[in-house]
Amino acid sequence: MNKSTIDKIFSILLKLTPNPKTELNYSNNFTLLVAVVLSAQATDISVNKATKELFTIIKTPQDIINLGEEKLKTYIKTIGLYNAKAKNIIELSKQLIQHHNNTVPNTLEQLVKLPGVGRKTANVILNVAFNKPTIAVDTHVFRVSNRIGLSNATTPLNTELQLLKNVPQKYIFLAHHLLILHGRYICKAKNPLCNKCPIKTYCKFYNLNNH
């Protein structure tokens, strides 16, 4: 797909959603980190339901330590993999206290060393908390990028690298959010709403299936 087509795609998506942002609720960088860790293989809606009460009592890593793993589980038990996530959140809180002066680090290298934090989570934190031009590739971004023709990669990492190379610089910062929202509400996994899609003219999937 050529650069001018990619530019048109993102121009259209941005006009429809002029201020795209994460749908996770959070109050600071630490609660954002907790929310993103919880969101792995879970919906933002389910995470927001669980954190509504949790975030009234925790704001810092020390708050998590004071709460303890078992009590933390009672707040997040409606989320998939909650046992492993509770353990990771306790451990990453300890590491933030011991090695990062109670703050969330602002580099990919440091973030991925934290328990429960992979490259996708780290890229979300870098983008949302620190305004860095990263593209986090989750299931929506991976699917949409390949369907449209923005990428032909078979892994999230290679999809990320292709997007960073192909997406015009002016859209890099917002690309992750625009693609997620498009994947969540229009370009759905099982029944994509192609007839409602504002970028179908440029979409590889649509053109292959409608000609």
Residues marked as catalytic: 120, 138
Write the burial class of residue 63 (CB in 10 Å: 0-12 exposed, 13-18 middle, 19+ buried): middle
Interhelix angle 156-166/119-128, rounded to 10 degrees, is: 40
Rg of the chain in Å (alpha carbons): 18
- Residue 79 near residue 53 (C-beta atoms within 8 A): no
Write the burial class of residue 75 (CB in 10 Å: 0-12 exposed, 13-18 middle, 19+ buried): buried
Write the burial class of residue 165 (CB in 10 Å: 0-12 exposed, 13-18 middle, 19+ buried): exposed
Which residue has 């973030």 as its token pair? 111
User: What contacts 177, CB < 8 A, 6 or more positions away?
Assistant: 17, 20, 21, 22
3-state secondary structure of 113: coil
